[in-house]
Chain A
Amino acid sequence: MSTAVQAAAAPVDERLLRTSPLRRVLGRPELGAVVGAVAVFVFFAFAADSFLRASSLSTVLYAASTIGIMAVPVALLMIGGEFDLSAGVLVTTSALVSSMFSYQMTANVWVGVGVSLLVTLAVGAFNGFMLTRTRLPSFIITLGTYLMLIGMNLGFTKLISDTVSTKTIADMEGFPEAKAVFASTLTVGGVNFKITILWWLLLIVVASWILLRTRVGNWIFAVGGNEAAARAVGVPVRATKIGLYMGVALAAWISGQHLLFSYDVVQSGEGVGNELIYIIAAVIGGCLITGGYGSAVGSAVGALIFGMTSKGIVFAEWEPDWFKFFLGAMLLLATLLNHWVRKRAEATK
């Protein structure tokens, strides 16, 4: 089959035949995650009777989407060779800014939503700017941002609301519309789906497009794979990295607005620890921890594994405490598998 396709392409080398289609599949970064996802799916399909019900799958997809929305830009950032430890609490920051600005300053929630977008993007730009200016490891820079954001989330909320959570904004103008955009439920064929699933799919498509088909995508792979070489051939390394951090911030804004409009109040201490889950999803999805390799689709499969495991344990009526154990085991297995697959793929020469 592949020979016919290849014969149609312009200059074909007869030795191409030695690259079997199987080899091509093995060379994909997301392969390990797909194998893992199928295994987890089959496992819970047998272990939990209710797992295969449409409503259960919708719950699984919802759980996956809340992680997946962030895992997509985090994966791009990791391909670009950097971490963002502040991503989890930035989601909370974004929700808090939106909620408190709306409540204190204006009668329309959309103003708060807009201000929140600016503030969140500014935090992303700050991360990227600090990284490219100081050349310190992103681990340190974003760890600093992470701690500062935790402090500011709690500090400002207490200062403004006198408690650790925000006041409800459910009765404010624009709330129903904003809820429709960020936190509504759609019914397809009698099954309810959260709108975050659509946001997630949109981000996967856009990120894959950028990564695989645009110049910026080429630059992302290059700054993560060999920053010095990228700089030497004229790739705007600094702008690429700042852009990647702002991409994470954009997704944090979407996540944050979802958080706010699903519950109409925000707990200021939320989000701590989520940054690691995003990174885990990206790594399970085939992102190389050292940068230069990975895919957006892979991170989505990683998030799906996360969703299936976290909800599958509940459907199987096990102790939810075991979830973290499964996640850790999955991370190790997926990374080992990815490592092995990549070695096999690269040994083809």
Chain B
Amino acid sequence: MTTATEPTAERTTGDAPLVELEQVSKYYGNVRALEGVSLQARAGEITCVLGDNGAGKSTLIKIISGLHGHDAGSFRIDGEETRLAGPRAALDRGIATVYQDLAVVPLMPVWRNFFLGSEPTKGRGPLRRMDVEFMRRTAHAELRRMGIDLRDVDQPIGTLSGGERQCVAIARAVYFGARVLVLDEPTAALGVKQSGVVLKYVAAARDAGLAVVFITHNPHHAYLVGDRFVLLKRGAMAGHHTRDGITLDELTRQMAGGDELDDLRHELERPEAAAPPVTADADEGRPRS
């Protein structure tokens, strides 16, 4: 798995990153939400941002997607120092953000959601109208291309499963020519199978040449697809690794807070834990026997 993605990393190391944060900080009043965080997102790479609740992941997203400005440090798009005026400006620069819970409008049909905010029109003056046929057809075709086969693009998007909704949002971003895709915990509320489906599309977006920023608190999901790993802890950088520089176990340990996890394990230790522990073997053995 590691070797499979290495060429990707090598291929793009020469280019300037599409999005680069350097020592970026953000304060809400006297609360330090983010301090000295650096991150690079390159085309054809997946940069994972890992952190626990309150680590500053949402703040980081808000800065990249143009919802908030940063207070210190430098934020570069295509190597050029930038301050985004809003989400629209971010979109215009090719940065699309897919939020975990606010990605879609549940009561609206799939096709209306797909084109929301960037509806294609035809006609002029008072007759300027949405090209509904085109929108229906394109939404259906684009989703099918991503492997989501809807029987009816007129159904409210709220009737789709969580994974499908994430995929619609990703397909939308890809269709509208996003160069940088920011994914906010796309697998957080999903089951194992649904998560797998979403991760497949994340990889598909990478293969399509997008720079992906994948925010998650699940090191297993991150390690499946990630090329770089940025660890956040209480608003500050807790580590920055490339794929060949870290193992899943180490990533999991750092993510969980390393020593803190050891403490926790100690605290939760059962009195009888001294006896032979219940191991993974027992679980694995069950279906076979």
Contact = CB atoms under 8 A, between A and B. Distances in A.
Contact of B112 (A15, A18, A218, A348): A218
Given A215-B119, A218-B116, A226 B105 contact: yes
A36 interface: no
A293 B156 CA distance: 11
B137 A13 contact: no
Interface string A163-187: 0000000000000000000000000
Contacts of B121: 214-215
Contacts of B119: 215, 218
Interface stretch (B96-104, B235-243, B244-252): B96-104
B156 A346 contact: yes
Given A232-B99, A233-B87, A213 B130 contact: yes
B150 A13 contact: yes
B12 interface: no
Contacts of A293: 107
Contact of A218 (B103, B106, B130): B130
Contacts of B149: 13
B159 A349 contact: yes
A209 B129 CA distance: 9
B187 interface: no
Contacts of B130: 213-215, 217-218
Contacts of A10: 133, 137
Contacts of B116: 218-219, 222, 229-230, 233, 235
A202 interface: no
Contact of A16 (B112, B152, B159): B152
A18 B117 contact: no
B108 interface: yes
B117 A346 contact: no
A228 interface: yes
B102 A292 contact: no
B65 interface: yes
Contacts of A324: none
A interface majority secondary structure? helix
A225 B108 CA distance: 8
Contact of B106 (A225, A232, A235, A348): A225
With a 10 A CB-CB cut-off, give which of B65, B119, B160 has the most chain A CB atoms.
B119
Nearest to A233: B117
Contacts of B224: none
Contact of B102 (A15, A19, A229, A288): A229
The number of chain B residues touching the other chain, given as a range, is: 35 or more
B141 interface: yes
Interface string B67-109: 1000000000000000000011001000001010011111110
Contacts of A234: 87-88, 91, 117-118
B26 to A, nearest CB: 18
Interface in A207-225: 209, 213-215, 217-219, 221-222, 225
B140 interface: yes
B15 to A, nearest CB: 27
Contacts of B65: 232
Interface in A326-349: 346, 348-349
Contacts of A189: none
B140 A11 contact: yes
B208 interface: no
7 contacts: A19-B152, A215-B130, A225-B107, A228-B99, A230-B117, A292-B105, A292-B107
Given A214-B129, A219-B117, 16 more contacts: A11-B137, A13-B152, A16-B152, A218-B116, A218-B119, A219-B116, A221-B105, A221-B107, A225-B108, A226-B104, A229-B116, A232-B97, A233-B91, A233-B116, A292-B107, A293-B107
Interface of B: 65, 67, 87-88, 91, 97, 99, 102-108, 112, 115-119, 121, 128-130, 132-133, 137, 140-141, 144, 149-152, 155-156, 158-160
Interface of A: 10-11, 13, 15-16, 18-19, 209, 213-215, 217-219, 221-222, 225-226, 228-235, 288, 292-293, 346, 348-349
Pick the 8 closest A-B CB pairs, nearest first.
Answer: A233-B117, A225-B105, A15-B151, A234-B117, A349-B159, A234-B88, A226-B105, A228-B102
